[in-house]
Chain A
Amino acid sequence: MPADATRSGSDPVLSLRGATLRFDDRTLWSGVDLDVQPGEFVAVLGANGTGKTSLLRVILGQQRLTRGEVLFEGEPVRAGNPGIGYVPQQKLADDGTPLRARDLVGLGLDGGRWGFWPSRRKRAVVDRLLAEVGATSYARKPVSRLSGGEQQRLRIGQALAADPHLLLADEPLASLDLSNQRAISELIDRQRRERGFGVLFVTHDINPVLGMVDRVLYLAGGRFRTGTPDDVLRSEVLSELYGSPVDVIRARGRIIVVGTPDSGHAPHDEHHDAGHEELCDHDPSDAEAVAL
């Protein structure tokens, strides 16, 4: 399918139809229907272990659905699709890495090509990508010396290198401070508007991207809700989703979800605090009222 037709038309870039994923006896989510349009920003919300990363793995063709289908630009997904950009959950590069900032971005361009000699046009393209993600000033620094926020910009630049039609970002804001959270969110938001790619943005905390997301996919206890943030992030909706009373509080432009039950579907998950979801921005004073 020609790329331009897809982008200018209203065909969804990604479609999930009755998508169900089950491991052994545990259902992560079932019957998920979701269309992501070109240029659309969709946030995937849910506590630890609700299967957000698994959803991305399904879309990347690395994990098969138990039931249902997942289509990328109308075709069943396959592994190694260059049309899908991927920013994995943060992993800081360590010392033995023979890469500078620009080389990490460059791998997104030709990392899969055999041989060792770089192409001629690579330099200019990488320069442009570095400028787009605001990484020009540290282009020649070793990746292992960069901060989390700087590395995250590079990962986005790396993902943009293949000019994807869909960007999958797995908790790209985790372990970033507030100003970097805002910078990274705005970077993705601006790029998807300029380039017109769809975004599936996995996050614990909706607040940094609240003004940007078009829709949310909210996973909880094997069930889900989709819709605009205003549709989904409401006390009645989440109470029904969780099957127990939950309060959604809006204060100073932020959304805070209080009283989510400890998800009984992950009793072995030791990182899980009892009584509320780990949807917080790690503020200890927020122990009771947890920001979603």
Chain B
Amino acid sequence: MIAAVDWSQVFNFADYGELIVLLRNSIIAGALLGLVGGLIGVFVMSRDMAFAVHGISELSFAGASAGLLLGVGVVQGSIIGSLIAALLIGLLGARARERNSITAVLMPFGLGLGILCLALYPGRSANKFGLLTGQIVAIDDPQIGWLIAVTLVVLIGLAVVWRPLMFASVDADVATARGVPVRGLSIVFMLLLGLSVAVSVQIVGALLVLSILVTPAAAALKVSASPLVVPLLSVAFGVTAMVGGILLALGSSVPISPYVTTISFAIYAACRAIAAVRTRRSSAPRPAPVREAQEGALA
């Protein structure tokens, strides 16, 4: 006989109000991550760095595992791992091709290192899995404090460098000619990206970081090209995915990541569909006058 899923275990919304109060911190952290992910994702997309994000997240995982093993702390370890990876990729991979190969080299190394640290760690196995696939519910108060602080650093940093970073991302040649410190901004961006990845690893897990640092921005770019609308939409999508995922996960035995990734993916699919409909509409009217003209001639 096939083992039936006990849906009352997967979804159990009794005591929901109590749970929400209990996990208020997690919800705040999730919302902040949605905010940060949505904003930094715009630059990840315009700098074409999705693959690099994935690479950083694996080294962040290695750092977190080492932090767990050595007792430094998961969050602290993951931040250190992230920053090292982000700087390496930023300094060595100025050109896209070079960046991709460095990322591809770092990624399995980080994953292997993380697995080694976890194998040596004597503690509970649930924690171990959580670093790869998400564990926000398991995070305690001091860790939430760290995550919120890091998130604020990223938000403030982005607010300061936003416009010159956008200039440097879309038009490095002209930005350089205009005296924008393109190289310095690229390093600053990598550091902010590293911090964002470290926070994401804690919440959605190293394997699923892209769902919050890339998918919302990619979705927003499908439906708009305005430098104001894209970040706003991207943030709305990111926060929806994060908070929605946490709220759904509260009443279930499934971790939050599947909810987050599914909501995020659904939003992206919807935006693609909207974009497709729009292109069809904008290209459709063209044959119409011709047909009318022909009909007119026939009449």
Contact = CB atoms under 8 A, between A and B. Distances in A.
Interface stretch (B42-50, B87-95, B130-138, B254-262): B42-50
B187 to A, nearest CB: 16
Interface residues of B, number: 30
- Which has the most chain A C-beta neighbours within 10 Å: B45, B163, B221? B163
A97 interface: yes
Contacts of A80: 176-180
A201 to B, nearest CB: 16
B265 interface: no
B164 A113 contact: yes
A116 B162 contact: yes
Interface in A39-94: 60, 62, 79-82, 84, 86, 88, 91, 93-94
A115 B164 CA distance: 8
B140 interface: no
B178 A98 contact: no
B227 A99 contact: yes
Interface string B45-60: 1101000000000000
Interface centre among A62, A112, A113, A162 (most CB of B within 10 A): A112
B159 interface: yes
Q: Is the interface of B mostly helix, strand, loop or mixed?
A: helix
A95 interface: yes
Contacts of A100: 225-227
Contact of A115 (B45, B162, B218, B226): B162
A16 interface: no
A112 B149 CA distance: 28
B98 interface: no
A116 B235 CA distance: 16
B298 to A, nearest CB: 34
Given A103-B227, A114-B160, A82 B179 contact: yes
A99 B174 contact: no
Nearest to A98: B230
A96 interface: yes
B170 interface: yes
Interface string B206-246: 00000000000010010011110011000000000000000
B45 A96 contact: yes
Contacts of B109: none
Given A82-B179, A88-B174, A116-B163, 8 more contacts: A98-B42, A98-B225, A100-B225, A104-B171, A113-B164, A115-B163, A116-B162, A159-B174
Interface of B: 42, 45-46, 48, 159-164, 166-167, 170-171, 173-180, 218, 221, 224-227, 230-231
Interface of A: 60, 62, 79-82, 84, 86, 88, 91, 93-100, 103-104, 107-108, 110-116, 141-144, 155, 158-159, 162
5 contacts: A96-B46, A97-B46, A99-B227, A104-B170, A107-B166
